Amino acid sequence: MNAPLKSIDTSLNARAHRVAAVSSRHADQVDAEGRFPREAIEAMKAERLLAIQIPTAFGGEGASLSEIADVCSVLGQACASSAMIFAMHQIKVSSLVSHGADASWHQAFMRRIAAEQLLLASATTEAGIGGNLRNSICAIESDGEICRLEKDASVISYGKEADAILVTSRAHKDAAPSDQVMTVFLRNQYSLEQTHVWDTMGMRGTCSDGFLFKAEAPAAQILPHPFAEIAAQSMLAASHLLWSAVWYGIAVDAFARAQAFVRAAARKSPGAPPPSALHLAEVSNQLQMVRSNVVAGLNSYEDALVHPDRLSSMGFAVAMNNVKIASSEMILTIINRTMLICGILGYKNGTPYSLGRHLRDAHSAQLMISNDRILANTSNMLLIHKQDTNLLG
Ligand SMILES: Cc1cc2nc3c(=O)[nH]c(=O)nc-3n(C[C@H](O)[C@H](O)[C@H](O)COP(=O)(O)OP(=O)(O)OC[C@H]3O[C@@H](n4cnc5c(N)ncnc54)[C@H](O)[C@@H]3O)c2cc1C
């Protein structure tokens, strides 16, 4: 008699775990060689994860930001660079879904992303401006049906591997630095001349080299809403929440390694719990705080989606900034503490308790839009905004 065929679990969580299994096998090599995690990205495409956020009407699955954050945290436990690439791609998709759904070019492009599992990258950072997302030096030139753009983009993650790049610029040559648009450029519409090499302490697999970006494309590819609107209503929240989910994933894996270490030590001396067990309990508490912070942020985002006034409010912006600051700082405390628990076996590479990659990757969190910039932005809002202090919304 034939054995019954096992059905494959097609839930997002199961698909994310299958990708995580692939990316975890290559994580150390990706880190050591600073190379693009192609096996993980191929696995994401095979599981059709790249288009999950796109509405079903355009060929996707209409996944919510919370569901996507859950995938980010699963991937973050395996390989932070692959997880961050997935998160950055989804942040770009969120701009299309939220601000391109009424434009025919962008609708067709969403269908292509879903059908071909296209990978999107981002060029917001510019030489001379740094991480000040809401200012550009470069300006897009529109000449009838055609637009042209040249940008000295000091960081474009996986720029060489992407199928399209979403680029910010001033809206025209006389526009103020904050009067910006975002444009989708397809791989065959731009050239990249490398200006910086991404040889970094952590997040080495994101391959975030710098490039002189030059492009020409139909003007219809400019998103039909000002970038100010895109940043405030989708991009900042999506960035802070999905990045935080990736960072939470890194901390979860560090915790799991420390817990395995403490359990092994406890087995060696039954009846006398190892001193590090107390530290593990402390880390469990801190991990729960990061999780609660991210989940509260996601709930607040899902709530704001049905109350659009909230989405553009100062209270919402302050809350999203606070999620980013707290998670980017707390994960460093957590991973540092897990390193103390695992001792030299955590410090060494190539042990089941190694934490060097986690710690190095986690150090990028405070810089990914500098926490100083975010705090400066929050402090300006707090001059006029009353902090939301109600426990239940
Ligand atoms: C893993 C990773 C991947 C990335 N991928 C991309 C990508 O794909 N595309 C992209 O466009 N960018 C990307 N970035 C860039 C990133 O998001 C930031 O924009 C960039 O790292 C900021 O660079 P910076 O620290 O030199 O600049 P700045 O933000 O200018 O900070 C430099 C220094 O100036 C201080 N500072 C400057 N202005 C202020 C202010 N107003 N208030 C307070 N302090 C201030 C900061 O504290 C800091 O000390 C990536 C970064 C990382 C780490």
Query: Which amino acid would we find at residue 383?
Result: L
Whether 385 has a pLDDT exceeding 80, the answer reads yes
Helices (H), the chain: 12-33, 38-46, 65-76, 80-99, 104-116, 227-230, 236-268, 276-306, 308-311, 314-342, 344-347, 356-362, 371-382
Does the CB atom of residue 125 touch ligand 1 within 6 A?
A: yes
Pair type for strands 146-153 and 190-196? unpaired
Calculate the CA 326 to chain-centre distance: 16
Token pair of 169 as six digits: 């610029």
Distance 109 CA to ligand 1 centre (A): 29
What pLDDT does residue 390 have?
A: 86
Q: Tens digits of per-residue pLDDT, 63-106?
A: 999 999 999 999 999 999 999 999 999 999 999 999 998 999 99
Does the CB atom of residue 45 touch ligand 1 within 6 A?
A: no
Q: Whose CA is nearest to atom 38 of ligand 1?
A: 373
Whether 12-116 and 120-221 share one fold: the answer is no
Class of domain 12-116: mainly alpha
Pair type for strands 210-218 and 190-196? antiparallel
What pLDDT does residue 132 have?
A: 87
**Residue 5: Cβ-neighbour burial (10 angstroms; 0-12, 13-18, 19+):** exposed
CATH classification number, 120-221, choose in 3.30.70.360, 3.90.1170.10, 2.40.110.10, 3.40.190.10: 2.40.110.10
Cα(28)–Cα(17) distance, rounded to whole angstroms?
18
What's the CATH superfamily of 227-382?
Butyryl-CoA Dehydrogenase, subunit A, domain 3 (1.20.140.10)
Does the CB atom of residue 95 touch ligand 1 within 6 A?
A: no
Query: Domain residues of the chain, as ranges?
Result: 12-116, 120-221, 227-382
Q: Tens digits of per-residue pLDDT, 13-22?
A: 999 999 999 9
Find the mean pLDDT for residues 210-219: 98
| pTM of the predicted protein model | 0.96
Does the CB atom of residue 115 touch ligand 1 within 6 A?
A: no
CA proximity to 19, closest of 286, 249, 357, 323: 249
What pLDDT does residue 1 have?
A: 55
Find the mean pLDDT for residues 143-163: 96
Q: Tens digits of per-residue pLDDT, 223-280?
A: 999 999 999 989 999 999 999 999 999 999 999 999 999 999 999 988 888 989 999 9
